[in-house]
């Protein structure tokens, strides 16, 4: 069984937002809403500053509270790669999943259902990378199978310092950031 | 210094989470109130006090059905995909408190309806003769009445606790992340229900019993509020930041003045004087308790939405 995840090299990310545009185009994300976004994290006091740029999205957690809290069974874990998805025609728009997500990765689609990053499962099922990964001009994003010890993801995770976002929330996020 | 810039600007998410408005606070309040009404009226029925305590046995069941329906309508208004509401009733998700709640609500109506049949409301036309027959059968069967009493207490407790557990299960919102919220909302529901029935009861004994009970519930609520604060203050930095939202942050005035002051301490003081016959009973204390219960839900829901594992906006 595959376990899909991402590794993002923050040393390479320049915050160009190509991933954001690619996602909106690929998934027809409505105007004013985003499934992925860029965070600039600046620490220190001028002139001693440190800036990290990150591209963020749903972390497709291994322990996803958004799935467990859904009263309709709309939020679910996809059989391929443990990707967290939403059945649009089962969602009542109660917003429980939005309250449950520590990453604030979900939003309400104008049609009324909860929406979020799908890891472009429609592309992945056809052997392609998610749209955001495929367009990244600095090649800072890596998508693959975390269960495969020989995958590029695991090679990077074994050789570089990395962290996940808010691991203390206990959700076991599956996106890792190389520091 | 740590400055975070985010390009995301999603509706209801940024700059702070605002997914739930007045609808959820009002629903949680009415759910708690009806839960308290069911427990109190169920207890009197079990203790065979229903003939003397007429407000609890005749007004409460119908009022409960009406108030819960208003609450559920508020809940319906909050749904973003309204035509798909029925989806909640096509499944049972054991890990979802909201799913438990949806099904508990299905049990609440028949429980209250059964209690309402003890005395069929006057506006029911005579052509519904079967209701009067059922009422006659119920009143002639002591054991069945006791079962209805116990059922109302059990379902009421489930309803009251679930309104708190619903919020406490969201680990992403540190302020809510304490299981004692279930007890707090249950006790607050019992307290507001006692205040309401005390206010509408014409029988002096019934009214007096509920005023004394309300004092106990209010006192208990104060203790639970204290435990809730201690629980969060002795937890992680995220939980400490979260509880600061209500202790010293943007919701401090609402919490200290309206929840603790006017909603708990002042009515406890007034009602203590009233039950010891130093002053007359007025509607001031019960109204303060009821409004305090409503504001408690508003403060907890809104401050909880503001609380976060990372930075809390408005708490620098």
How far, in Å, CA of B15 to CA of B1, rounded?
A: 19
How far, in Å, CA of A118 to CA of A98, rounded?
A: 15
Helix axes B204-233, B180-200, angle to 10 degrees: 160
How far, in Å, CA of A116 to CA of A105, rounded?
A: 6
How far, in Å, CA of A2 to CA of A147, rounded?
A: 6
> How far does the CA of residue A151 sit from the closest CA of chain B (Å)?
31
Structure tokens at B269: 């003081």
**List of chain B residues whose C-beta atoms are within 8 Å of the C-beta of residue A71:** 88, 91, 93, 96, 98-99, 101-102
Cβ contact B109:A114 at 8 Å: no
Q: What is the pLDDT of residue B316?
A: 56
Could you tell me the residue ranges of all domains in chain A?
4-178
**ipTM, 2 decimals?**
0.94
pLDDT beyond 60 at A102:
yes
Instruction: Please compute the mean of the pLDDT values over residues A18-42 and round it to a whole number.
Output: 97
How far, in Å, CA of A84 to CA of A101, rounded?
A: 12
Nearest to A99 among B88, B102, B172 (CB): B172
> How far does the CA of residue A169 sit from the closest CA of chain B (Å)?
7
pLDDT means per 10 residues, chain B with 316 residues, are 90 94 98 98 94 89 97 96 92 97 96 93 86 91 95 98 96 95 98 96 92 96 97 95 95 97 97 92 95 98 95 64
Nearest to A112 among B1, B81, B90 (CB): B81
What is the third-level CATH fold of A4-178?
Answer: Alpha-Beta Plaits (3.30.70)
Q: What is the pLDDT of residue B314?
A: 62
Q: What is the pLDDT of residue B20?
A: 96
Cβ-defined contact of A72 to B88 (cutoff 8 Å): yes
DSSP of B231-285: HHHTS-HHHHHHHHHHHTSTTHHIIIIIIIIIIIIHHHHHHHHHHTTSS---SHH
Q: Which of B72, B88, B163, B172 best tests the A interface by mutation, with the highest count of A CBs <10 A?
A: B172
Q: Which CATH class is domain B22-306?
A: mainly alpha
Cβ-defined contact of B11 to A108 (cutoff 8 Å): yes
Cβ-defined contact of A92 to B79 (cutoff 8 Å): yes
Structure tokens at A70: 């859904």
Cβ-defined contact of B171 to A102 (cutoff 8 Å): yes
Q: What is the pLDDT of residue B315?
A: 62
Q: pLDDT by residue (tens digit) across A109-157? A: 999 999 999 999 999 999 999 999 999 999 999 999 999 999 999 999 9
- CB environment A149-166: b (16+ within 10 A), e (fewer): eebebbebbeeeebeebb
Place of tokens 């046995």: B57
Nearest to B87 among A43, A92, A166 (CB): A92
Nearest to B81 among A65, A93, A99 (CB): A93
Q: Which residue of A has its CA nearest to B2?
A: A43
Q: Which residue of B has its CA nearest to A76?
A: B93
């Amino acid at each position: 069984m595959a376990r899909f995840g991402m590794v993002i090299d923050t040393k390479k990310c320049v915050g160009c937002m190509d991933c954001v545009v690619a996602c909106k185009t690929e998934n027809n994300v409505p105007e004013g809403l985003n499934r992925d976004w860029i965070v600039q994290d600046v620490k220190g006091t001028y002139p001693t500053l440190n800036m990290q740029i990150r591209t963020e999205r749903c972390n497709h957690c291994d322990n996803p509270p958004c799935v467990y809290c859904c009263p309709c069974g709309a939020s679910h874990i996809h059989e391929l790669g443990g990707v967290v998805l939403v059945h649009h025609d089962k969602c009542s728009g109660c917003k429980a999943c939005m309250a449950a997500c520590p990453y604030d990765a979900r939003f309400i689609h104008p049609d009324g259902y909860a929406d979020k990053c799908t890891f472009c499962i429609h592309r992945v099922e056809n052997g392609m990378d998610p749209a955001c990964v495929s367009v990244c001009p600095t090649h800072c994003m890596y998508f693959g199978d975390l269960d495969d010890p020989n995958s590029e993801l695991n090679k990077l995770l074994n050789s570089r310092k990395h962290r996940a976002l808010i691991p203390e929330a206990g959700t076991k996020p599956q996106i890792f950031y190389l520091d | 210094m740590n400055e975070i810039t985010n390009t995301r600007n999603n509706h209801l998410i940024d700059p702070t989470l605002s997914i739930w408005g007045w609808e959820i606070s009002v629903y949680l309040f009415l759910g708690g109130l009806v839960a308290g009404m069911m427990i109190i009226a169920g207890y009197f029925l079990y203790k065979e006090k229903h003939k003397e305590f007429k407000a609890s046995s005749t007004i409460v069941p119908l009022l409960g059905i009406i108030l819960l329906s208003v609450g559920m309508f508020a809940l319906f208004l909050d749904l973003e995909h309204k035509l798909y509401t029925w989806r909640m009733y096509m499944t049972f998700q054991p890990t979802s408190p909201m799913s438990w709640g949806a099904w508990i609500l299905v049990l609440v109506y028949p429980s209250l309806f059964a209690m309402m049949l003890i005395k069929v409301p006057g506006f029911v036309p005579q052509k519904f003769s079967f209701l009067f027959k059922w009422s006659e059968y119920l009143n002639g069967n002591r054991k069945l009445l006791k079962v209805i009493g116990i059922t109302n207490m059990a379902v009421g407790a489930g309803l009251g606790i679930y309104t708190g557990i619903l919020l406490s299960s969201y680990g992403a919102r540190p302020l809510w992340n304490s299981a004692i919220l279930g007890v707090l909302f249950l006790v607050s529901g019992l307290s507001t229900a006692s205040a309401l029935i005390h206010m509408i009861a014409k029988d002096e004994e019934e009214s007096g019993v509920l005023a004394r009970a309300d004092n106990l519930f209010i006192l208990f609520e104060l203790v639970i509020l204290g435990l809730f604060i201690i629980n969060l203050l002795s937890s992680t930095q995220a939980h400490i930041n979260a509880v600061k939202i209500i202790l010293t942050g943007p919701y401090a005035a609402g919490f200290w003045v309206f929840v603790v002051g006017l909603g708990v301490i002042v009515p406890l003081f007034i009602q203590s004087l009233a039950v010891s016959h130093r002053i007359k009973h007025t509607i001031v204390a019960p109204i303060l308790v009821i409004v305090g219960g409503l504001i408690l839900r508003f403060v907890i829901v809104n401050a909880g939405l503001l609380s976060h594992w990372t930075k809390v906006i408005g708490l620098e």
